[in-house]
Amino acid sequence: MYNAEVVKKPLQGKKTVTVALIGNPNCGKSTVFNQLTGLRQKVGNFPGVTVEKKVGNFQLDNQLKVRLVDFPGTYSLYPTSQDERVVLNILANQEDQYYPDVIVYVADITHLEQHLLLFTQVRDLGIPTLLALNMADAARKEEIWYDTAALQDSLKVPVIAISAREGENIPQLKEEISQLIEKPSQAPSAFYDLSKGEKDLAKTVQSKLNINNSYLALLIAQNAGRLPFLTQSDREHINEHIIQSGFNRLSMQVREVMQRYDRFTPMLKKAIQRPEGKGLSLTDKIDGIVTHNIWGPIIFFALMLIVFQAIYSWSSFPTDLIDAGFANLNSFVKTTLPESWYADLLTDGIIAGLGGILIFIPQIAILFLLISILEEVGYMARAVFMFDNVMQRFGLNGRSIVALVSGAACAIPAVMSTRTISNWKERLISIMVTPFISCSARIPVYTVLIGFVVPATASWGIFNAQGLAFMGLYLLGIIAALGSAYILKRLLHSEERSFLMLELPEYRMPVVRNILLNVWEKVKTFTIEAGRIILIVSIVLWVLASYGPGTKIAEAETQAITLAQQKNFSETQTADLIAANKIEASYAGHLGKFIEPAIRPLGFDWKIGIALITSFAAREVFVGTMATIYSIGSEEEEGSIRDRMAREKDPLTGKPIYDFATSLSLLIFYVFAMMCMSTLAVVKRETNSWKWPIIQFFFMTGLAYLGSFIVYQVFK
Amino acid sequence: MPNTLNNLELGKKGTIAAFSDEQAGCQLMTMGILPGNNVQVIRKAPLGGAIYLKMENQQFAIRNKEAECIMLK
């Protein structure tokens, strides 16, 4: 049995105990987390940063409630990325709300040599720690021999072998956690011996901040410049000492890391043995194909094609169901409730808004199902390896390709998929440029307008000209995305030096529970967090389109009815005319007229202006608004809207409004403009601030304005 | 040609001697890539820029720039 000092402060008096899960990337930490908490987990951000925080609850046998915090995977307490910095910021600050009472350190037995460095650092912080050796099942398969008692003896903390994947020894793990809470103990002596100079430095920090752990003090001193909880005077005090004693932070780190390895490597030699190499492993064989010079990229693009197909077409059935369901609900409410403003608010504002949120769920669920499988299996790391070189030139990451490809279906799940990019700058750039990729909501707009630019019968060689023009619009989106990524790469400065040092984990069968929980969590987050914003904007847009200043709306309605009676209109014709007159008299109509001078140079009139405003809800709304404005009813086919638009003439010149220049200008506008409140809502949630969605909105819409302006002025 | 990892022939084994860049070296060490370890370059990335590195029981992807910092015995 190991010897451990009992820490004086008993934890049982507390109502909930905070337990931290810490470990290297790929140690199977999330599988442990999901095993312990199941659906009782909440995902959010750590305060002030967009690093994913997973907190879950579970009960121990002794009725003690545990708050389990899953920390980002990290290799050491010397952070190199935002994710890793979170771990240090919390573990170095005893006042932090997530500062753990107990640490469960998860290590992969099959890579124990690599996974113990961080463990020895964490252990030296004086927090009661236990070591969970995960992947006992894989160790058995690989015939790795290990001795937990020997490890426990030399590391001086409780050690338990588990397999989170198979649920093996999970009750025992809980039992060990209970024991550690009942008798909190810390390792008797630190793993790392501070040098004389380091001890002096630590003492300065210890007395300044009133802490008693010398390793913690040393860590704080080394990272003083970036720890958010230090005051400016603390920082200056510490830095002064460092400069005076001539310390080099990097050399200190290297010395510490070497000393730790030198101490635990001999311990491991006695406690773990793996069989002699047996030639190529399964992972070697798979990688021979999957990262092959020619096969690698082919397989990757085939997979991306499947991802695109899945979001684009597999989701259409559930999406149509949701769409039809909300349409039915809408008309049911309309016919049940008396005609009134609240009936309109409920149907055209709230129900339409809710429908607009739920409609994205199939796409989000399907995309994350596929991405989670690729991540879980270990494939995504290979994609990063293969495409790092190209993507790096644009300030992006290999994982950004998934976002760009998914963006062709819908930017919302695509932006959400960037969570897996750990470098903040690369992730931000991916988020900012993904909405340039033409999504499926632009297709109806393109379809309506393209006929005015390229005649349906025209062909260039064997190609249909409209098809080529379509492709041109998509290409334009891709060019805009990569071009702006390149610009952003230059503009955004990053304190993180860009490295690629990526572990390529062994291929493993995916854990179904992890995948389903991930899909569930993404859908839930989107519905609750982005959904809120979408619903509000949708109600605002409804107000804009249904109300007008003073009695304008009512006047417009009477006028329309009189005119319809004079002309002997049918019931639907009358209703369509009323709708057209009403939208002209509404706030949206006024706004359309108000912005007309600004959009005139792009070749747009106020009617297009209204459509630009309403289609901020979603691009495809453009088509519906056009139908309303030209009073042809929103149930009509795209073809008839196009016919009606083709007949639209400029009242002064008598020339068609939708001539080549205006139509092309409008197309260009829709390729570039950020006309999607849902995407902005998701960007807000993923970047944790309004700053980035606002910049994105003005940048994209500004580019759209510029593009349309040039096109119209050249071709008019 | 300096005896660094990026110059190691595909498939051949080498032993890490030291790192010429302290920051990169420190980060490599935290991942378990240490002086004294045997390493092998399995392949280059299809579009260049990075190598597929294999150690005894672990494989990594690192950029050529980082591979240049890894000096071999």
Instruction: Give yes or no for A25 touching B (CB within 8 A).
Output: no
**Quick one: which of A486, A477, A476, A483 has its CA closest to A393?**
A486
Mean pLDDT along residues A169-182: 93
**Residues B26 and A253: beta-carbon distance below 8 Å:** yes
Residue A40 falls inside a structural domain: yes
Instruction: Give yes or no for B38 touching A (CB within 8 A).
Output: no
**A420: its two tokens:** 């897996």
Q: Could you tell me the CA-to-CA distances from A5 to A103, A183, A186, A341, A597 in Å, in that order?
A: 16, 10, 6, 71, 78
Per-residue pLDDT at A310 exceeds 90? no
Among A489, A513, A537, where does a domain finish? A513
Residue A622 falls inside a structural domain: yes
User: How far is the alpha carbon of A374 from chain B, nearest alpha carbon, in Å?
Assistant: 17
Instruction: Give yes or no for B10 touching A (CB within 8 A).
Output: no
Instruction: Identify the CATH number of the domain in which residue B20 sits.
Output: 2.30.30.90
**Residues A692 and A427: beta-carbon distance below 8 Å:** no
pLDDT 10s digits, A507-553 = 999 999 999 998 998 888 888 877 888 888 888 888 888 888 888 88
Give how many domains chain B has, as a whole number. Answer: 1
Alpha-carbon distance of B36 to A545, in angstroms, equals: 71
Q: What average pLDDT does chain A have?
A: 88
| Inter-chain touch B58–A117, beta carbons under 8 Å | no
DSSP class per residue in A472-500: HHHHHHHHHHHHHHHHHHHHS--SSPP--
Given pLDDT bands bounded at 50, 70 and 90, which one contains residue A1?
A: very low
| Inter-chain touch A297–B47, beta carbons under 8 Å | yes
Both A93 and A12 in one domain: the answer is: yes
Instruction: List the single residue in A111, A257, A388 with the smallest CB-CB distance to B50.
Output: A388
Residue A285 falls inside a structural domain: no
Per-residue pLDDT at A576 exceeds 50? yes
Instruction: Identify the CATH number of the domain in which residue A81 sits.
Output: 3.40.50.300
Residue A288 falls inside a structural domain: no
- pTM here is 0.85
| Inter-chain touch A504–B52, beta carbons under 8 Å | yes
Say which residues have a Cβ less than 8 Å from residue A456's Cβ, sequence separation at least 6: A466
Both A217 and A156 in one domain: the answer is: no
Say which residues have a Cβ less than 8 Å from residue A505's Cβ, sequence separation at least 6: A26, A378, A381
Instruction: Give yes or no for A297 touching B (CB within 8 A).
Output: yes
Instruction: Give yes or no for A383 touching B (CB within 8 A).
Output: no
- Contacting A residues, span 219-278, partner chain B, CB-CB under 8 Å: 250-251, 253-254, 257-258, 261, 274, 277
Both A366 and A509 in one domain: the answer is: yes
Q: What are phi and psi of A675, to 5 degrees?
A: -105, 60
| Inter-chain touch A504–B60, beta carbons under 8 Å | yes
**Segments forming the whole domain that contains residue A257:** 196-273
Alpha-carbon distance of A77 to A92, in angstroms, equals: 10
pLDDT at residue number A639: 64
Q: Which residues of B touch A384 (CB under 8 A)?
A: 61
Per-residue pLDDT at B15 exceeds 90? yes
Per-residue pLDDT at A634 exceeds 50? no
User: How far is the alpha carbon of A274 from chain B, nearest alpha carbon, in Å?
Assistant: 10
pLDDT over 70 for what percent of chain A?
A: 96
| Inter-chain touch B52–A501, beta carbons under 8 Å | no
Give how many domains chain A has, as a whole number. Answer: 4
Q: Could you tell me the CA-to-CA distances from A44 to A16, A56, A437, A521, A524 in Å, in that order?
A: 20, 11, 27, 10, 11
Report the interhelical angle of A400-407 vs A379-393 (nearest 10°).
80
Both A421 and A548 in one domain: the answer is: no
Both A167 and A204 in one domain: the answer is: no
| Strands A102-108, A16-23: pairing kind | parallel
Query: What is the three-class DSSP state of A461?
Result: coil
Residue A377 falls inside a structural domain: yes
User: How far is the alpha carbon of B1 from chain A, nearest alpha carbon, in Å?
Assistant: 23
Count interface pairs A-B at CB distance under 8 A. Answer: 107
**Burial letters A444-473, b for 16+ CB under 10 A, else e:** bbbbbbbbbbbeeeeeeeeeebbeebbeeb
User: A50-59, A95-104, A260-269 — which is least confidently predicted?
Assistant: A50-59
Among A273, A305, A336, where does a domain finish? A273
| Inter-chain touch A390–B47, beta carbons under 8 Å | yes
| Inter-chain touch B26–A257, beta carbons under 8 Å | yes
**A120: its two tokens:** 């020895």
| Inter-chain touch A387–B59, beta carbons under 8 Å | no
Residue A209 falls inside a structural domain: yes
Query: What is the three-class DSSP state of A620?
Result: coil
pLDDT 10s digits, A250-305 = 889 999 999 999 999 999 999 999 887 667 889 999 999 999 999 999 999 999 88
Mean pLDDT along residues A90-112: 94
Alpha-carbon distance of B58 to A277, in angstroms, equals: 12
Q: Which residues of A touch B6 (CB under 8 A)?
A: none
Both A268 and A315 in one domain: the answer is: no
Both A312 and A351 in one domain: the answer is: yes
Determine the residue among B55, B57, B62, B70 to mutate to test chain A binding: the one whose Cβ has the most chain A Cβ atoms within 10 Å: B57
Say which residue, A15 or B58, is predicted with more confidence: B58
Both A305 and A233 in one domain: the answer is: no
Instruction: List the single residue in A297, A500, A504 with the smallest CB-CB distance to B59.
Output: A504
Per-residue pLDDT at A3 exceeds 50? no
Say which residues have a Cβ less than 8 Å from residue A527's Cβ, sequence separation at least 6: A357, A358, A361
**Which ipTM did the prediction report?**
0.96
Instruction: Give yes or no for A392 touching B (CB within 8 A).
Output: yes
Residue A159 falls inside a structural domain: yes
Both A36 and A72 in one domain: the answer is: yes
- CB count, 10 Å around CB of A495? 8
Given pLDDT bands bounded at 50, 70 and 90, which one contains residue A75?
A: very high
Q: If you average pLDDT over each of A6-20, A49-63, A445-459, B52-66, which comes out highest?
A: B52-66
Both A123 and A174 in one domain: the answer is: yes
**Quick one: which of A373, A382, A392 has its CA closest to A291?**
A382
Alpha-carbon distance of A222 to A49, in angstroms, equals: 21
Both A597 and A628 in one domain: the answer is: yes
Q: Give the helix ranges, DSSP H, for B1-73.
A: 22-30, 64-69
Say which residue, A112 or A16, is predicted with more confidence: A112
| Inter-chain touch A502–B34, beta carbons under 8 Å | no
Residue A675 falls inside a structural domain: yes
pLDDT 10s digits, B23-44 = 899 999 999 999 999 999 999 9
Both A509 and A566 in one domain: the answer is: no
Per-residue pLDDT at A5 exceeds 60? no
Per-residue pLDDT at A6 exceeds 50? no
**Segments forming the whole domain that contains residue B64:** 5-72
Per-residue pLDDT at A183 exceeds 50? yes
User: A238-247, A695-704, B17-26, B57-66 — which is least confidently predicted?
Assistant: A238-247
Q: Could you tell me the CA-to-CA distances from A577 to A556, A563, A582 in Å, in that order?
A: 10, 9, 8
